[in-house]
Chains A and B, each alone.
Chain A
Amino acid sequence: MSFDLENLVSDLDIRGAILYFKGNIDSEVINKALDLVEGKLLSSRESPRIRKKVYNVLVESLQNLYHHADYVPKGYHAARPDRFGLIILEKTGRGYRITTCNFVTAFRVKELEEKLTRINRSTPEEIKELYKDILNHQEITEKGLGGLGLVDMARKTGHRLDFRFKKYDDRHSAFRLSAVITHE
């Protein structure tokens, strides 16, 4: 069987998900996903604190795909090669989990791995300082601020970011990232 990004999330409950999308991420898709999730969270009578955290992390996750997903490998089935990814929002026993999958070029794997490992090893206080340091000292590019989205996700959730890579070919890897939001 040929590889699909869905292979990376075979352990997740896709059918019961609050949001599931696989395809090219544009502004319209982001708007629709945010509207859908906001409506569902409001009708579920979730606490404002959790609702806001889920919404915030969802915005960063969708925009991470929009800004940072690399082109899909040649031969991989996608309507367009750019901004292609998969996103799932699930309700779990302890809260919510947001998972994204996308392709990254091989040379970015090490850099991303180091960035995420550093974030995961940091204490909440160190994450706060790291956030402020990037915010205050890094120049903004068309793609936003390098790594601030990931730091923000770790800070808002208060949990480590789960990530894994799967080598697709010599020049591409598939990347999965999960953030969990729990009730305390």
Chain B
Amino acid sequence: MEPIIIEGTPKTPSIKFDVKDGIFEIKGRSIPENSVEFYKPLNEWLDNYMQTPLDKTVVNIRLEYFNTSSSKCILDVFKRLEAIHRSKHDVEINWYYEEDDEDMLEAGEDYDSIIKVPFKMIEIVE
């Protein structure tokens, strides 16, 4: 399956979901005015990936900022990962947050309480 690779911009994160390398990562800032449009290709890619996922999918989320419209789109990504997990495949989400960024930690905890997928909160110490 072809990977999805999107370069980051000051308002949108870099995305790399690559089955061959086993890398699944969203990194940077997610504050576009139109988040739905931005996340559409990733969610479409995941719809395909869900058909034949790897035995184990580890997703790294390293966001510095995200706006409320991105928060729903990120939840949609997680709901697809939850469906993969429900189909008896291992899925793990690593949620990175910077030291002292209590808001980003809480955001990760919110998702953890909504989505039935193992979440790991990882503090980045500078």
Residues in chain A within 8 A of chain B (CB atoms): 27, 30-31, 34-35, 47-49, 52-53, 55-56, 59-60, 63, 66-67, 128, 131-132, 135-136, 138, 140, 142, 144-145, 148-149, 152, 156
Q: Which residue of A lies closest to B113 (CB)?
A: A132
Please state if A53 and B113 are interface contacts (CB–CB under 8 Å).
no
The verdict on B67 contacting chain A, using a C-beta distance below 8 Å, is yes
Residues of chain A contacted by B71 (CB below 8 angstroms): 135, 145, 148, 152
CB-contact partner of B11 in A31, A53, A56, A67, under 8 A: A31
A53 to B101, CA, bound (A): 9
Residues in chain B within 8 A of chain A (CB atoms): 10-11, 31, 33-36, 65, 67-69, 71-73, 75, 98, 100-103, 106, 110, 113-114
Interface of B is mostly: helix
Please state if B69 and A48 are interface contacts (CB–CB under 8 Å).
no
Q: Which residue of A lies closest to B126 (CB)?
A: A48
CB A145 to nearest CB in B, in angstroms, measures 6
Please state if A140 and B73 are interface contacts (CB–CB under 8 Å).
yes
Please state if A49 and B101 are interface contacts (CB–CB under 8 Å).
yes
Please state if A60 and B68 are interface contacts (CB–CB under 8 Å).
yes
Please state if A136 and B114 are interface contacts (CB–CB under 8 Å).
yes
Residues of chain A contacted by B101 (CB below 8 angstroms): 48-49, 52
List 9 contacting pairs A-B, 8 Å CB cutoff, sorted by A. A30-B33, A47-B100, A49-B100, A55-B65, A63-B67, A132-B114, A136-B75, A145-B72, A152-B71
Q: Which residue of B lies closest to A133 (CB)?
A: B114
